[in-house]
Amino acid sequence: MTSPSRPAAFTLAVLAAGFAGAALGCCGERSTTDDPLLSVGEIEQLFQQTRALGDRIDVTRSRGATTATTGVALADLIGSYNSVRTQLQRVLSVDPSPPASEEDLRALTAMRRALKIDLPEESNQPTSEAVDAGGSGKVDCRYDPESVAKGEGGYEALSKRIYACFSEAAHSVSFEGEPMDRLTVFGRLPLTDEPSRREGLWRAMAPIWASVNGDNGPRSPYRTLIRLNAARLNREGKVLGESVRGIGVEPAVMEEWLMQVLQKWHDIAPDTALEPWDFAYNAGRGNRALSDAIPVDSLRAINDRFYRDLGADPVALQVQYDLEPRPSKDPVAFTTFGRRPRFEGGTWLLGEPWVFASYQMGGLDNLLELLHETGHAIHIAAIRSRPAFVDWPDSDIFTEGVADIATLEMYEPSWQQRYLGASVPMKDSIAAKYAAIAMDIGWALFEVRMHRTPERDPNQVWGEITQRYFRINPHPDLAWWAVRGQLIDSPGYMMNYAAGAIMNADLRARARERYGPYTEGDSSWYGRISESLYRFGLEKTSKEIIEAFLGRPVSPQALLDDMSRAVAESN
């Protein structure tokens, strides 16, 4: 385990005058004007302080608040952050004193990268690209995508505008006169028995589709965005999906694996053509059977009980949850640091991870999402490394996949019986588990193909994938693929879920080999997994961590074998 270096004089000054106050709510900072050359340890303490303020700003904004939970005004936090960030930027622009070790040089590289990518200068002013000319704050979704892309901010401005319109539409769904949001529609589709009502519920998402893809013409928002992103990748000599190299797999190999998994889904699913509004219903037999056991007010209790049984009690780990819907909330669930674990006074102090989501109803799908986000939270709560490395791992694929090491136990009948008091047959559980994973893989393949041939009609590309592997009748006039925010603000991010599912199945199988079963809890599980997978942050590469745990490179075989249990159960 690597502990941060702590030069006494500078550390005490920063902790007393800056970090201990600014990170936790006050706004003081220490000037480094008299310290033209700092050691790496001193720079790291300033970096830690900047990070802490940035994290507090992130949580405050995500809460939709103007005051931090500590009572400090957001404007004051931003002022302190910008001041400390300026100092950090200055000291990172010169070499430290004395000369740095190899690990110190890696820490400097990590801090410089974080400053450039994750720690921008902050502003109290609302961004203008997504509001109307009248300044009302309402999203202006009547715009020309190419004009936005050619204006200030270019590609980023267009991405933000599309996402803002997507978010507004996702919060404004209406079905049979009842207001609801995107996640509620997803939750109800597997539960709605009448086919005509199910179709109506599905079609209620049309404004979401339109917010992303307009009329599906060549100048539609999404098609314009993809052309720009594909051109950028081409200029940089990159391909979409090359992030898989971070877990030791070449993009072409991963694409083959994705198609293998989709073919396996095709083979184990019923040989019947489907309408898109029937897909979730047909795979949702287990969801329907268990929905009464998972009311919305039980989500946290089930979530907390399971992780407590694994030795990862969210309350003890100080995980915070913001789960109430509100109109301005990000429609995509996410987890953020809040406050990072830190080494102080010879001991490790807990962090404060924050989970953000919106739940109007319970059910298996929303429970899955909450367990997944808590998986992120217990991961970052376990990081034990020097300040420069206390961050998400270097691979989003590893990050997304490792969040589900515990989560996917919910599909085991014995887990359901213990935590829900009811269970469904294995074949129904496998169908529920892999319907979602297969669809994520479908989206990942869709993005790869769209970036390879950006002039193509995305509705047609999606129709080819879903008809070939899911037996879903194509609807080339409808952009029903356009329901994932990641397609807009992070093109290529769906690969993290797809490749992460393959990696996750491999890690889960190995964890059972090494530590035994944990479906119904194991209080030693969190300590073991933390030591072998969670604790490193950026200290080691994801590839190093994965291959050390597996004893070999990643393989899709564990996932394919697990899917085969659906066939074995039905025979």
Range of the domain at 12: 8-117
Question: How many C-beta atoms lie closer than 10 Å to residue 92's C-beta?
Answer: 19
pLDDT in tens, 528-545: 999 999 999 999 999 999
The span from the CA of 394 to the CA of 411, in Å, is: 29
What pLDDT is attached to residue 100?
A: 76
Query: Do 122 and 57 touch, CB atoms closer than 8 A?
Result: yes
Residue 414 lies in a domain: no
How is residue 139 annotated by DSSP? B
Does residue 105 lie in a domain region?
Answer: yes
- Using DSSP, state whether 274 is helix, strand or coil: strand
Q: Is the predicted pLDDT of residue 110 greater than 70, yes or no?
A: yes
| 90/115 Cα distance (integer angstroms) | 11
Domain count, the chain: 1
Q: What is the mean pLDDT of the chain?
A: 90
Q: Up-side HSE of residue 244: CA atoms within 13 Å toward CB?
A: 29
Q: What mean pLDDT comes out for the span 149-164?
A: 94
Say yes or no to pLDDT of 479 above 90: yes
Residue 6 has pLDDT above 80, yes or no: no
Block residue for tokens 């979602």: 436
Distance CA 397, CA 412 (A): 24
At a CB cut-off of 8 Å and minimum separation 6, what does 481 contact? 443, 446, 458, 459, 462, 487
Confidence class of residue 566 from pLDDT cuts 50, 70 and 90? confident
Rounded to an integer, the average pLDDT of 116-133 is 67
**Tens digit of pLDDT for each residue in 541-558?**
999 999 999 999 999 999
Sheet containing strand 334-336, edge to edge, reads 320-322, 354-356, 334-336
Strand boundaries in 39-85, DSSP class E: none
In a domain, 505, yes or no: no
Q: Report the percent of the chain where pLDDT is more than 90.
A: 81
349 assigned to some structural domain: no
135 in any annotated domain: no
- Write out the DSSP string of 464-525: HHHHHHH-BPP-TT--TTTT-THHHHSTTTHHHHHHHHHHHHHHHHHHHHHH---TT--TTH
Give yes or no for residue 297 having a pLDDT over 90: yes
Instruction: Give the whole-angstrom CA distance, residue 209 versus residue 461.
Output: 15
Distance from C-alpha of 183 to C-alpha of 208, rounded to nearest angstrom: 12
Cβ neighbours around 207 below 10 Å, total: 16
Give the pairing of strands 354-356 and 320-322: parallel
* Dist. CA 383–CA 341, nearest whole Å: 7
- Interior CA angle at 418 toward 436 and 497, to 5°? 20
**pTM of the model as a whole:** 0.85
pLDDT at 346 (0 to 100): 92
Half-sphere exposure of 496 (CA within 13 A, CB side): 18
What is the predicted pLDDT for the residue at 128?
A: 38
The token pair that represents 421 in the structure block: 């008091």
The answer to the question of residue 367 being in a domain is no
How sure is the predictor about 31, in pLDDT bands with cuts at 50, 70 and 90?
Answer: very low
CA nearest 2: which of 389, 526, 547, 402? 389
Would residue 197 count as lying in a domain? no
**pLDDT at residue 510 greater than cutoff 80:** yes
Span of 131-145, 228-242, 492-506 with lowest mean pLDDT = 131-145
What's the confidence (pLDDT) of residue 331? Answer: 84
Contacts of 526 (CB under 8 A, 6+ apart): 307, 310, 311, 312, 378, 382
